[in-house]
A and B are shown apart, each in its own frame.
Chain A
Amino acid sequence: MKTTLAALLATCAALPALAAGEIWVTNEKDDTVSVIDVETLEVVRTLPTGERPRGITFSKDFSKLYICASDSDTVQVMDPETGDILYDLPSGEDPEQFVLHPDDRHLYIANEDDAITTVVDTETRQVVAQIDVGIEPEGMAVNDAGTVAITTSETTNMAHWIDTETQELFANTLVDSRPRHAEFTKDDSELWVSAEIGGTISVFETDGQTEIAKIEFEIDGMHPDRVQPVGFEFTDDQKTAFVALGPSNHIAVVNADTYEVEDYILVGRRVWHMAFSPDKSLLFTTNGVSGDVTVIDVANREAIKSIKVGRFPWGAAMRPTTSG
């Protein structure tokens, strides 16, 4: 293990591509964020937040950090340099997950207990719209063009398609049980939605909202019931998706062209979400039950280190840094 790591660090050091950066992780049951340095793979800062922090994302220029403080019923805005909470945004009740619109200004927020998606203008700090969706909204996505936002609702088992011009639903598509996370492919041609209890990812063609593929997962020696896809991320070239499989404690590596699963990587317990390092060579997964973050070497598709963070790490976001 040590030698692998040393070798890896040596390799990395030799590559000028390795950009310095940090991975910010929300600890749901500690009311903190842990900041991991991508070079040293160590927690360098632990910062207090509101209650039950879950969703986490940066503004485009990384000058502001948005945190869903679910039990404080607010989205907090933090200065990532100082760790100070600058102000709170109105978010609707129990914000769980959100996504920042490409305009860098509007947050689309899932209000889990209220069956509502709230749209907040981060500049005026006003609620722009509230949209009734299904029960327990969670997964949030906006396409690159900024024209379509998605909310998935866990109990209604749907992806709700929101026209960002009118802030109204224009389509609702059924997916398998307990949809958790949604992402558009970079060219906006496809929408992927994971279903935790259904154990699948549904792939939709965004034109016409038709389902074109369903990805299933199978891990040797593991009952399918425990293989529960939740968070996932695409690589920059869009050829590969890394999918967190919850209590099966694995990350699946999916070929985004053929929709075939190519690999499974063992990580910590109940893996939720993930973020890439700035150069995309490393992937950091949050493992809720084991309270740690697994670092995956993306090229070799293997776990290289576990980093202890707070209790029940949930969301993850990357911030590049200039130092180092």
Chain B
Amino acid sequence: MLIRLLVVSLAMLAVTPAQPQTKLDIPVIYLRQEVPAPPVLSNLDPIPEDRGIAGAELGLTDNLTTGRFMGHDYTLDVITVPQDGDLRGAAVDALGRSRLIIVDAPADDLLMIADLPAADGALIFNAAAPEPLLRGAECRANVFHSLPSLAMRTDALMQFLQKRRWDDLVMVAGTRPADSAYAEALAASATKFGLTVRDRKDWAFDADMRRNASQEVPLFTQDFGTYDVLLIADETRDFGRYLAYNTWEARPVAGSEGLEPVTWAPVVEQWGAAQLQNRFRDQAERAMTGRDYAAWAAMRAIGEAVTRTTASDAATLRDFMLSDQFELAGFKGRPLSFRTWNGQLRQPIPLVTRAALVAQAPLEGFLHPVTELDTLGADAPETDCTAFTD
């Protein structure tokens, strides 16, 4: 595919496009820190080997197509660091070769990279770490976030529950750090939208729930009493899938299972999304995940900024991305743009089941003086981020 495009690009240049051409090379590096995947009960949803990478590769293809009419040549170099590898060394090397880096690594590693002397003045895209802290007190001027924060996703869910007036909530949370972080985000968003998480239980079973969920879960959920919705915080997709239809009360589940607020999902097909899904499936031979979307969006944000500025240096691109000139068509029905106070890509959040898109936040009725997209996640007046103010 790539080779075909490059051949086409040469042919195309021969026919004198009238768009004024400025020859530019835009090397982008995708830097991934491998992390151990914790064991889960079900074998149904393996994590794709190339999660994230395939999204960046599609973004590259998209950028090259526009680039061939402009004389802009994009490259993508993927560097994967094994679990015990030298991420610092790899990052220094990458920053020596390109000032545009997409990072697929946990929050601590991301900050380590961003704080390297070599990263000063570079433009780093966080396409994998959802922690609100990275967009708040621990934000960095050289880090933009194409992945929505946890808060954006949980705010989206709470808007929906609020709108349906399902305001009496209970929660089952896993005990892994990602589960706790998601549980905290759910609780904070519930408070923000005036809902109550009345009770919370930790999931500490070590039996195989594939066999005995129907015996255990009704009893486990019986003492919640009556409620509207059971929230599930299970970010590794370990146990959540066994709760639906096994609860004591006949109530829906939401959060990590049931109705999920996500970055992206195969069920998103409106707003031309079907085309993006098809292109991704053709190229990667699997469905597009949220991480793929975030990496694709980072790559496309770079492409869009290069196309509009005909520049390739990180400083010019950063300025343009933070200006009101920048808008990215992200197949979510509205133009996407970066928040000037923390570099977060503002974007709608689909609320999905495995079979359908249920709604897309921001929902109608949640108003904002600037853009309703900023009803999701930390807004300008409440941000703890100061790195973007100078």
Do B334 and A169 have beta carbons less than 8 Å apart?
no
Contact with A along B8-23 (1 / 0, CB 8 A): 1001100111110000
- Cβ-based interface call for B333 (8 A): yes
- Cβ-based interface call for B378 (8 A): no
A113-B278, A197-B335, A247-B333 known; A134-B66 Cβ under 8 A: yes
Interface residues of B in 354-387 (CB under 8 A from A): 371-373
Interface residues of B in 262-289 (CB under 8 A from A): 272, 275, 278-279
In the complex, which residues of chain A have a beta carbon less than 8 angstroms from the beta carbon of B329?
154-155, 157, 177-178, 196-197
B98 CB to nearest A CB, Å:
23
Do B18 and A158 have beta carbons less than 8 Å apart?
no
Total number of B residues with any Cβ neighbor in A under 8 Å: 28
Do B69 and A134 have beta carbons less than 8 Å apart?
yes
Do B19 and A172 have beta carbons less than 8 Å apart?
yes
Interface residues of A in 274-293 (CB under 8 A from B): none
Do B275 and A113 have beta carbons less than 8 Å apart?
yes
In the complex, which residues of chain A have a beta carbon less than 8 angstroms from the beta carbon of B334?
197, 225-226
In the complex, which residues of chain A have a beta carbon less than 8 angstroms from the beta carbon of B15?
168-170
Do B62 and A161 have beta carbons less than 8 Å apart?
no
- Cβ-based interface call for A129 (8 A): no
In the complex, which residues of chain B have a beta carbon less than 8 angstroms from the beta carbon of A132?
8, 11-12
A113-B275, A113-B278 known; A173-B18 Cβ under 8 A: yes
- Cα A196 to Cα B327 in complex, Å, equals 12
- Cβ-based interface call for A85 (8 A): no
Do A174 and B327 have beta carbons less than 8 Å apart?
no
- Cβ-based interface call for B214 (8 A): no
Neighbour of B66 across the interface among A158, A169, A176, A225, CB < 8 A: A158
- Cβ-based interface call for A171 (8 A): yes
Do B19 and A198 have beta carbons less than 8 Å apart?
no
DSSP class of A's interface residues: helix, strand, loop or mixed? loop
Neighbour of B328 across the interface among A112, A170, A177, CB < 8 A: A177
Which of A134, A161, A172 gathers the greatest number of chain B CB atoms within 10 Å? A172
Neighbour of A172 across the interface among B18, B272, B279, B308, CB < 8 A: B18
Neighbour of B275 across the interface among A136, A225, A247, CB < 8 A: A136
A158-B66, A171-B17 known; A113-B327 Cβ under 8 A: no
Do A156 and B19 have beta carbons less than 8 Å apart?
no
A311 CB to nearest B CB, Å:
14
Contact with A along B284-312 (1 / 0, CB 8 A): 00000000000000000000100110000
Interface residues of A in 113-157 (CB under 8 A from B): 113, 115, 132, 134-136, 153-157
A156-B69, A172-B19, A198-B327 known; A177-B335 Cβ under 8 A: yes
Neighbour of A135 across the interface among B65, B308, B373, CB < 8 A: B65
- Cβ-based interface call for A46 (8 A): no
Neighbour of B18 across the interface among A134, A153, A161, A176, CB < 8 A: A161
Interface residues of A in 168-217 (CB under 8 A from B): 168-174, 176-178, 196-199, 209
Contact with A along B50-85 (1 / 0, CB 8 A): 000000000000100110010000000000000000
Interface residues of A in 220-252 (CB under 8 A from B): 223, 225-226, 247
- Cα A226 to Cα B275 in complex, Å, equals 20
Chain B residue at smallest Cβ distance from A115: B65
Do A112 and B275 have beta carbons less than 8 Å apart?
yes
Do B69 and A225 have beta carbons less than 8 Å apart?
no
Do A178 and B307 have beta carbons less than 8 Å apart?
no
Which of B16, B17, B328, B372 gathers the greatest number of chain A CB atoms within 10 Å? B17
In the complex, which residues of chain B have a beta carbon less than 8 angstroms from the beta carbon of A136?
272, 275
Neighbour of A171 across the interface among B19, B307, B327, CB < 8 A: B19
- Cα A172 to Cα B20 in complex, Å, equals 9
Do B17 and A169 have beta carbons less than 8 Å apart?
yes
In the complex, which residues of chain B have a beta carbon less than 8 angstroms from the beta carbon of A112?
275
Which of A156, A171, A199 gathers the greatest number of chain B CB atoms within 10 Å? A156
- Cα A136 to Cα B278 in complex, Å, equals 11
Do A198 and B66 have beta carbons less than 8 Å apart?
no
Do B333 and A173 have beta carbons less than 8 Å apart?
no
In the complex, which residues of chain A have a beta carbon less than 8 angstroms from the beta carbon of B17?
169-172
In the complex, which residues of chain B have a beta carbon less than 8 angstroms from the beta carbon of A247?
333
In the complex, which residues of chain B have a beta carbon less than 8 angstroms from the beta carbon of A161?
18
Chain B residue at smallest Cβ distance from A154: B272
A157-B307, A168-B15, A169-B15 known; A177-B327 Cβ under 8 A: yes
Question: Lowest 3 CB-CB distances: which A-B pairs, in order?
Answer: A171-B18, A177-B329, A172-B69
- Mark B residues whose CB is within 8 Å of A: 8, 11-12, 15-19, 62, 65-66, 69, 272, 275, 278-279, 304, 307-308, 327-329, 333-335, 371-373
Complex A-B: 29 CB contacts under 8 Å? A113-B279, A115-B65, A135-B279, A136-B272, A136-B275, A153-B65, A154-B275, A155-B275, A155-B329, A156-B65, A157-B304, A157-B329, A158-B19, A158-B66, A169-B12, A169-B17, A170-B17, A170-B18, A171-B18, A172-B69, A173-B18, A173-B19, A177-B328, A196-B329, A197-B329, A197-B335, A209-B18, A225-B335, A226-B334
